[in-house]
Amino acid sequence: MTASKLFEPYTLGDITLSNRVVMAPLTRNRAGKGFVPSEFAAEYYSQRAGAGLIIAEATQISQQGQGYQDTPGIYTQAQIDGWREVTDAVHAKGGRIFLQLWHVGRISHVDLQPQGGAPVAPSAIRAEAKTYVNNTFVDVSEPRALELDELPGIINDFRQAAANAIAAGFDGVEIHGANGYLLDQFAKDGANVRTDAYGGSIENRARLMLEVAEAIVNEIGAERTGIRISPVSPANGVSTGDPQAQFNYIVEKLSDLNLVYLHVVEGATGGPRDVAPFDFDALRSKFKNTYMANNGYTLEMANEHLDAGTADLIAFGRPFIGNPDLVERLRTGAELVNFNPATLYGQGAEGYIDYPPMD
């Protein structure tokens, strides 16, 4: 039996988490007709309700925001109703669950876009990235640059998606500002070469992310709003020349908005933690509320960071796929199950709800 802060309750805004283990959002490509959550989603998430907090998979705020086949949305009543089944199931097990709100920007394909249009981006720069569409991985399509007068509509789509998430029973939302998707694209100068109020300076490139955050806070409250960022991750072909200055500024402004948590991918998403120089402790010092650490954490690392006060919550991603009872396995030192990569994306119940808990 392992005793550590990881298994202690934690107060997050107005809710109490049973422990400090967070299930990170995991795209599984299993949505049904109308991009409604899978018929198996309620069971999948409720199996993992032992996590102190579940952050449900990235969920597009509009059809334009979709970048991969069979990912769920939160912009129609059918989608809201489908997610309500999930939140009810998680709450019945005593769990807490947020929804990650997603606009992929240029990481999309014309076959997924309204009327087969080009994906949108801060600038018309095609990403060196793949997407999953028509049951195969293909290069993303050439994007078009968003017009200035389109940005209020995207901000409103995020705001409405947050309201829809609360209507669906979620305890809160996480803004997806990471991994080379739309808000991250605006923040990083490798994808954003605009010359208007949303490009150029650090302040301008941060503008869309901060306006989205402010709109959501005004809609559902700061105590129910978190955000995920990845300052140095090269995910989906994104890059920037000034990550420390850029994200120190962003985090200071997010702290001013009193967001309930900051979820940080430390290093390359799903890859090396030391992919580029960056002072995450300095970033942490800019944020006054809960800091959620993510990327390759082991039990030992989690304990070290919690004891040092450099993190408040620890997010685990793929270990939750094969281990629905991951918290108990960590607590007791039990062996972890490796998931089957062949059933990671786009299957049915297999590889989704059939991983058994410990005896």
34-83 confidence digits (pLDDT tens): 999 999 999 999 999 999 999 999 999 999 999 999 999 999 999 999 99
- Residue 321 in this model has a pLDDT that exceeds 80: yes
Q: Catalytic residue numbers?
A: 181
Domain chopping of the chain, boundaries: 5-318
The residues that bridge with 132 in the sheet, in sequence order, are: 137
What's phi and psi for 234, nearest 5 deg?
Answer: -85, 15
Distances (CA, A) of 217 to 119, 137, 211, 214: 27, 36, 10, 5
Fill in the DSSP letter of residue 235: G
Hey, which bits of 123-260 come out as E strands? Answer: 130-133, 136-139, 144-145, 172-177, 225-229
Pull the structure tokens for residue 94.
Answer: 């005593």
Closest CA to 62 of 23, 30, 101, 91: 101
280-300 confidence digits (pLDDT tens): 999 999 999 999 999 999 999
Looking at the chain, the whole-number percentage of residues with pLDDT higher than 90 is: 97
Pull the structure tokens for residue 11.
Answer: 């107060």
HSE on the CB side for 303, CA within 13 Å?
A: 9
State the virtual CA torsion across 80, 85, 89, 95 in degrees, nearest 10.
0
- Residue 346 in this model has a pLDDT that exceeds 90: no
pLDDT of residue 347: 82
Q: Hey, what CATH topology would domain 5-318 get?
A: TIM Barrel (3.20.20)
Q: What is the mean pLDDT of residues 208-233?
A: 98
Closest CA to 183 of 171, 175, 173: 175
pLDDT of residue 3: 61
227-276 confidence digits (pLDDT tens): 999 999 999 999 999 999 999 999 999 999 999 999 999 999 999 999 99
Query: Please, are residues 56 and 170 in contact by the beta-carbon 8 Å criterion?
Result: yes
128-153 confidence digits (pLDDT tens): 999 999 999 999 999 999 999 999 99
Q: How far is the C-alpha of 230 from the C-alpha of 246, rounded, in Å?
A: 11
Q: What radius of gyration do the chain's Cα atoms show?
A: 19
The residues that bridge with 118 in the sheet, in sequence order, are: none
Residues 6+ apart with CB under 8 A from 293: 264, 266, 302, 305, 310, 311, 313, 314, 315
Hey, which bits of the chain come out as E strands? Answer: 10-12, 15-17, 21-23, 53-60, 97-102, 120-121, 130-133, 136-139, 144-145, 172-177, 225-229, 261-265, 290-294, 313-316
Closest CA to 59 of 95, 107, 103: 103
Q: What is the mean pLDDT of residues 111-140?
A: 96
Query: Please, are residues 100 and 176 in contact by the beta-carbon 8 Å criterion?
Result: yes
pLDDT of residue 1: 46
Burial category of 171 from C-beta neighbours within 10 Å (exposed 0-12, middle 13-18, buried 19 and up): buried
Query: Please, are residues 184 and 238 in contact by the beta-carbon 8 Å criterion?
Result: yes
